[in-house]
Amino acid sequence: MPTKTPPAKSISLSISDRLAARIADGDLMAGDRLPSEAELALQFDCSRATVREALKRLAAKNLIRTARGHSGGAFVADLTYAAALDSHVATSMLLLSMNAVDFQTAAEARFALERACVDLAVAQHDRADLRALKDAINRLASRCTDEAFCAADVAFHRALVDAGHNPVLSYQLAGAVEAMQPLMNMITYADRDRETIIRLYRRIAGALQARDAGEVRHVLDELEALMIALFQRGQARRARR
Amino acid sequence: MPTKTPPAKSISLSISDRLAARIADGDLMAGDRLPSEAELALQFDCSRATVREALKRLAAKNLIRTARGHSGGAFVADLTYAAALDSHVATSMLLLSMNAVDFQTAAEARFALERACVDLAVAQHDRADLRALKDAINRLASRCTDEAFCAADVAFHRALVDAGHNPVLSYQLAGAVEAMQPLMNMITYADRDRETIIRLYRRIAGALQARDAGEVRHVLDELEALMIALFQRGQARRARR
DNA sequence: CCCATATCAAATGTCAGACATTTAAAAGTC
DNA sequence: GACTTTTAAATGTCTGACATTTGATATGGG
C-alpha cells in the first residue's frame, strides 16, 4: 500500500507548516491579518484547539503576533532585527551549552567573526560609533562585578560591530558574540587583567579612529590570546583545588 | 495601585517561559522527560489544553520533542547544529526579505563573513575539504539551471567555511550564507559570467591548497565586486524593459 | 522454555462546546 | 459634541470525552 502515510504528521503541525510557507512565500505579507481561529478551523476542517496549537508554534517563531479583543486576531509579524537577534542568541546559547563547546573553539570563532567587520568598521564608522565605544570602555573602567564587566565587554564588541553600518552583518555578528557571553562569564578577572584589557580596547578605539585596519586586527589577535590565556589560568586554578 | 499586572501575560506563555528557563539553566537536561501533560496541568493548575499550547511553543523552538504512545511524552531535545542551522537560516531569510535588504548590503555582509574564516580555513583544511571544494566546482562547471548553479555556489562556500574545522564558526557562517541564497538567485548568469566565476573559484581552491591566505582574500574581493556588478547589470536590464 | 499473539495501559493528538476576558466600535445620554 | 454604556467579535481558558499510538504485559501454543 504505497499511500503516503509517512510518520503521520500531526494536523496542527501541517497547518503551521502551511501557514509558515504562505508567509515565507510572501503570500501573506507583514501586517496581514490571518482569518480568525474559528474560520481557520473551518478551512482546515479541524477543531479550534488544533488551530490554536498551530498558531502558538508560529508565534514562537516570531512569524505572527496575536491580539485579543474586538478587532484582534493573528497578524503576520514584521520580523525586526531585534526580535530575530533575540531568538538567534537564545538558540546559539543553548547550542553552545548543550554541545559542550570548549572555550578555545568558541573564542576562535568569536574573534574570527569580529575580524570580519574590521574593514567595514574602519571605513564606515562615524562620531556616534566612537562615542559608543568610549562609553563602553568607561563602563569597563569603573569598578564593577565580573558580570557587569562582561556585559560592558559585550557592549564594546557590539559597538565595534555596529560601526560597520551594515545591519545584516550586525545581526549575524552580534548574535554570535552575545551567545558566547556565558562562556566569557566563566573568566574571573583580576584587577591587572582588567587594566590590560582596557588598554587593548583603547588601542582598538584609537586605531579605528585613525582608520588603521591592520592595527585593529593586530590588537584583536592580542586580545584573543589574552582571553584564552586567562581562561586556561582559571581552569588550572580550579583544577588545583 | 502598584500591583504588577503588566500586559497580563497569558498562562500558556508563562508556562512555556518557565519551562524554557529550566532548560536553559540546565535544570532539565537533554534527554530528560518532562512530566506528562496531565501532570503539568496539575502542577501549573490549569487545563491540559493550556499546557499543550505551551509545549507546542517549546517544540517550535526545538527545545523539546514529543513522542506518542505508552512511554512517550515530551523530552528535552539535544539541540543539534543541523537543527539550529535550519531555524537560523529560516529566520534570516525572512528577515532579509521582510526588511527589503538591498543586494549590496547583503553581499557586503556575506563576503565580510566569508573572509572571517579564511585564516582558519587556510590553516586547518585537509584533503577532504579540498575534495569538497572541487566537487562543488565541478558541479558549477556542468551545464545546469541558474538555481542549481546557485545551489552549487552555496555548497562551495559551505565547504570553504567548513574547512576552518570550527563548528561554531561554521554554524554562524553557513547560516548567513545560506540565508542570502534567495538574493543571489536573483542574478541570471550568462555563460561567460559562469566561466569567470568558476575561474575565481579555482583560484580560491588553489590558494587554499597553497595556504596563501592573502590570495584567498584577494580573490574574494574580486568575487564580491563581480557579484555586485552582475546584479546591477541585471537590474539595469530589468529596468529598461 | 521460547515465541507469537492478544490485551492492556499510558501517553499524546483531536474534538466539541462552553465560559471568561479583552477590545474597539456602535449606541445611547447629557 | 463629549462622555458613558452596551454590544459584538475575537482570543484565552476550562472541561470532558474520544482516537491513536506504542511499549508493556499476559496468554496461549509449539
For the stretch B9-43, pLDDT in tens is: 899 999 999 999 999 999 999 999 999 999 999 99
Say what the pLDDT of residue B7 is: 53
Distance A52 CA to C11 C1' (A): 21
Residue in B164, B166, B176 closest to A172 by CB: B176
CA distance B66 to chain A (A): 11
Over residues A172-196, mean pLDDT: 84
- Which residues of chain A make contact with B96, given a CB cutoff of 8 A? 168
**What is the reported pLDDT for A7?**
53
Nucleotides of C under 7 A from a protein CB: 9-18, 21-25
> Which range among A37-41, A152-156, A165-169, B142-146 has the greatest average pLDDT?
A37-41
Which CATH number does the domain B81-240 belong to among 3.10.20.30, 1.10.10.10, 3.40.720.10, 1.20.120.530?
A: 1.20.120.530
Q: Which three cell numbers stand for residue B34?
A: 518532562
Nearest CB to B59; choose among A57, A87, A119: A57
In three-state secondary structure terms, A99 is coil
Q: How many Å from the CA of A79 to C1' of C24?
A: 26
CATH 1.10.10.10 domain span(s) along chain B: 11-76
- Average pLDDT, integer, range A104-114: 91
Q: Tell me the pLDDT band of A102, cut-offs 50, 70 and 90.
A: confident
In angstroms, rounded to a whole number, what is the distance separating the alpha carbons of residues A171 and B113?
Answer: 12
pLDDT digits (tens, 9 = 90+) for B164-192: 999 999 998 888 888 888 888 888 788 88
pLDDT band at A238, cuts 50/70/90?
Answer: confident
Nearest chain B CA: its distance from A219 CA (Å): 16
Tens of pLDDT, residues A117-129: 999 999 999 999 9
Measured CA A66 to C1' D9 distance, in angstroms:
14
* Residue B6 binned pLDDT confidence (cut-offs 50, 70, 90): very low
Kindly list the residues from chain B whose CB atom is less than 8 angstroms away from the CB atom of residue A166. 105, 108-109, 112
pLDDT tens digits for range A20-47: 999 999 999 999 999 999 999 999 999 9
Write down the architecture of domain A11-76 according to CATH: Orthogonal Bundle (1.10)
Average pLDDT, rounded, for chain A: 90
Q: Is the pLDDT of residue B148 over 90?
A: no
Contact A79 B63 (CB under 8 A): no
Please say whether the beta carbons of B173 and B90 come within 8 A. Answer: no
Average pLDDT over residues A204-225: 95
Footprint of strand C on the protein (CB under 7 A): A 10-13, 45-50, 53, 67-72; B 8, 34, 36-38, 48-49, 52, 55, 66-74
Rounded Cα gap, residues A217 and A239, in angstroms: 33
Residue A71 has pLDDT above 90, yes or no: no
Specify the pLDDT at position B5: 38
The CATH 1.20.120.530 domain(s) of chain A lie at 81-240
What is the complex's ipTM, to 2 decimals?
0.85
Task: Please give the average per-residue pLDDT across A95-102, as a whole number.
Answer: 88
In chain A, residues with a C-beta closer than 8 Å to the C-beta of B53 are 52-53, 56
